[in-house]
Structure 1
Amino acid sequence: MERMTHERANGIKTGYWSPATKETLVQRLAAYENTGLEPWEIGPAIEKAAKDAETATATKMAECIAGGIKDTVEAIHRNPDGFFKGGAR
């Protein structure tokens, strides 16, 4: 994440500052608030999204493999002799 605020290091004031305009800061804050997540919920939400994506990918791969196996079994049933002699596609 690209930070928009920076900690003050001048020793006069404490807190944070930003070179961004108020409009930019407000829009960025609104985007964050629209997630509905608290700061401590963001990390776990990202981890869950990654895990869900891995699961979805694995499911798609399994479906493809299962489809290929089903097609092969159907080809064997249609023409067992031709399949084992290299005639099936």
Structure 2
Amino acid sequence: MSMFLITLAPGEIRVPKEMLEKEFFALMEKEGVSDVEELNKLLDKAVSLKNFLKSEDRVKKVAEFMARHYQENVEPMGYKAFL
């Protein structure tokens, strides 16, 4: 029997829904974008979203959250990697 543990990241490191809808989904729909390369170009246009996602403080918090989650929830089950 497999068991999956799904944990949401803390709110402070998740993209605010309004920002995602306004800056990314609206642009994605407007431009008719679907492939990864085009999505990356689109992200360059969504300046606030890009700054939020790539901020040094957020990246550090995401890394800490992922490491702590792995150590507390995944490693004890005997898995080597699980993202």
With the length of structure 2 as denominator, give the TM-score of the two structures: 0.31
With the length of structure 1 as denominator, give the TM-score of the two structures: 0.29
Higher RCO, 1 vs 2 (CA within 8 Å, ≥6 residues apart): 2
Larger Rg belongs to = 1
